Amino acid sequence: MIASFIPRRIVVAGHPKLVESLHEAGIICDYLKSRGLESAHGSLYDAKLRKRVHNGDFDLLIAVGGDGTMLRAGHLCAPHDIPIMGVNMGRLGYLYQVDAGDWQKMIDLLLGGDYWTEKRMMLSAEHFRAGESLGSWHALNDVVVCRGGLLRPIHIKTSVDEQYLTTYVADGLIASTATGSTAYALASGGPILPPELRNILLIPIAPHLSVDRAIVLSEGSKVSMTVLSENAVCSVDGQIPVGLAEDDRVDVHAGNDSVKFIRFGDPGYFYRNLTAHMNQNATIGLPR
């Protein structure tokens, strides 16, 4: 597959807490410059670097780190339609296809146009209290409404497209993208969805005498989660949670932006990655 677009202005960003990723980002940047490309590198959290991304100074971002780095790169790049190539230096790397030792070969393929672009849906979430919007966010993985510090379940009245669905009595409720189906949703017993799907996945966390099955909603659905308890919070893509008061509502629907990932070879990479990670369980292969 030969792509029609070849990036010429590339920024390489590492995670500030992963020293090795920042070092590798510098090496990648030097290689790009040796190929005659305009390139810069630095921390993904650096204000000047982020401003340059917002200003349209780059047409590709190479993210060096773990899955969290890819999530944050997605948040940064999606509104500006900038594709992302990931170089994995983390533990799992569900979102990655390129390992640290392979980036030079993959960059050469990229510059030869031998790649394809994968689009992944983002969610848009908004927090309401007494009809007033208190904040909005975008998520690549998930939006989670769950209990706070107290060890007791909460009640979450849930509607889909303004039609009452059920009231969950649980530790929480996950509204996930297909991307997020291999994250917290997977750990909570949800199904794995192909990454290109634009469905919303609802998964209760530790439900108590309540609906205990995941629900896959059609594309375009809107989910409303109203907290009927105290001691609840909302977290978007695992970020610092926002406190929710009783009767607060969180609405979730497909966002307008999509994250674009640079991919190589056939789309079956997703399933090869998946089975490789699943087979990392230390008990696999041991006698029973």
At 163-196, the pLDDT tens digits run 999 999 999 999 999 999 999 999 999 999 999 9
Residues 157 and 95 in one domain: no
Q: For the chain, how many structural domains are there in total?
A: 2
Residues 127 and 239 in one domain: yes
Residues 111 and 127 in one domain: no
Backbone angle region of 199, left / alpha / beta, with phi > 0 → left and psi within -120 to 50 → alpha: beta
Question: Residue 149 has what pLDDT?
Answer: 86
Question: Residue 145 has what pLDDT?
Answer: 98
Residues 192 and 79 in one domain: no
Among 4-13, 91-100, 102-111, 221-230, the least confident range? 91-100
Question: Residue 283 has what pLDDT?
Answer: 42
Residues 191 and 170 in one domain: yes
Selecting among 30, 57, 67, 108, the annotated active-site residue is: 67
In a domain, 97, yes or no: yes
Domain range for 231 is 122-255
Name the band, by pLDDT with cuts 50, 70 and 90, for residue 266: confident
Residues 76 and 201 in one domain: no
Nearest Cα residue to 55 out of 30, 85, 82: 82
Provide the mean pLDDT of the chain.
Answer: 92
Residue 93 has pLDDT above 60, yes or no: yes
Nearest 5°: phi and psi at 94?
Answer: -60, -35
Question: Residue 200 has what pLDDT?
Answer: 97
In a domain, 287, yes or no: no
Residue 287 has pLDDT above 50, yes or no: no
| Interval 219-258: pLDDT, tens | 889 999 999 999 999 999 999 999 999 999 999 999 999 9
In this structure, the number of other CB atoms found within 10 A of the CB of residue 132 comes to 7
Percentage of residues in the chain having pLDDT higher than 70: 94
Q: Which CATH number fits the domain that encloses residue 37?
A: 3.40.50.10330
Residues 195 and 78 in one domain: no
Question: Is 67 an annotated catalytic residue?
Answer: yes
Residue 285 has pLDDT above 80, yes or no: no
Residues 185 and 126 in one domain: yes
Residues 63 and 20 in one domain: yes
Q: Which CATH number fits the domain that encloses residue 245?
A: 2.60.200.30
In a domain, 40, yes or no: yes
268-273 long-range contacts (CB < 8 A, ≥24 apart) are 269/97, 270/194, 270/195, 273/93, 273/94, 273/96, 273/97
Residues 102 and 127 in one domain: no
In a domain, 174, yes or no: yes
Tokens found for residue 172: 């929480």
Question: Residue 13 has what pLDDT?
Answer: 97
Model confidence, pTM: 0.91
Residues 56 and 144 in one domain: no
Residues 165 and 251 in one domain: yes
In a domain, 191, yes or no: yes
Helix, coil or strand: residue 68: helix
| Interval 22-74: pLDDT, tens | 999 999 999 999 999 999 999 999 999 999 999 999 999 999 998 889 999 99
Question: Residue 1 has what pLDDT?
Answer: 60
Question: Residue 18 has what pLDDT?
Answer: 86
